[in-house]
Amino acid sequence: MIVDSHLHVWHAMLDYPEPTATTVSPCCNVPVDLFKEYMDEYQVDRGVLVQPIFPGVDNSYVADCAAQEPNRFKAVCVVPNSPTACEKLEYWSKDRGCKGLRLRPQLREESCVFGDPSTFPIWETASQLGLVINVLMNPQHLRPLAELAKRFSEVPILIDHMAYPDVTANLKSEPLQSLMVLADFPNIFVKISGCYYFSQQSYPYKDCMDIFKALYKQFGPSRLVWGSDFPHVLLKSGYQRSIIWLRRSFPFLTSEEIEMILGRNAVSLYW
């Protein structure tokens, strides 16, 4: 089984102000049917629809797509911190079926409150709802995440894109060590995705390989989760090469470990 744990779909926003930092413009239409074509071609069984940055906080499209085929898709919503955040999260989870919440401290407006006690109620609500929390973060957010993982040890936490590591740094550098020590928290998982965001090389991103090996050693294969970052991956490595990256780059991985990272771990989290 192959499960894409990190992909985006959206309706085109023709009036969205440019420029945008996203690889694929929000002015392009990226319907779920387009992703289904890739699923069929490359035998991808399931997908996790993660609410992208630019449509804002209306999670309707990803929620509706997942609700139509719940055995095939799950949705991860965005609910920024506010006095009504818990009520909104309950709506998107209970009424609309979302199985995850995405926090985005990488964004300036959300970074300042990441880990602040004012956000604890939304973590508590996520715990009560049985949600998986996805975190789009930079290395400076690793220490606050450790405190959150300790406080909310029952909440599964999935780090997007390996926390954008500095591939030029020594593995014993403070930021990379801050990432590795998170393995001490059994509720933290790492998404093996988005290498092109931080790699300084083209595919197969050889400068990311030591970081993956270190993550494998620290977290083990049961807490690593593959995601493609569709549709952005299409303009980078291409979808198929994203799937085969683990097999071609790390021959020490067993077939069972590949199966865990490519699919089984995501099923355990979301299904």
Say if residue 19 is preceded by a cis peptide, omega within 30 of 0: yes
**pLDDT score for 19:** 53
- Please tell me the distance from the alpha carbon of residue 175 to that of residue 130, in angstroms, as a whole number: 30
Q: Which residue has the tokens 């409150």?
A: 113
**pLDDT score for 134:** 98
- Please tell me the distance from the alpha carbon of residue 108 to that of residue 122, in angstroms, as a whole number: 19
**pLDDT score for 232:** 97
Sketch the domain layout of the chain as residue ranges: 3-270
- Please tell me the distance from the alpha carbon of residue 145 to that of residue 135, in angstroms, as a whole number: 9
State whether residue 19 is helix, strand or coil: coil
Give yes or no for a contact between 106 and 145, defined as CB atoms under 8 angstroms apart: no
- Confidence (pTM): 0.95
To the nearest whole percent, how much of the chain has pLDDT over 90? 89
**pLDDT score for 89:** 98
Under-70 pLDDT residues of the chain? 16-21
Question: What is the fold, at CATH topology level, of the domain defined by 3-270?
Answer: TIM Barrel (3.20.20)
Token output for 245 = 């990256």
**pLDDT score for 18:** 59
**pLDDT score for 235:** 95
**pLDDT score for 20:** 61
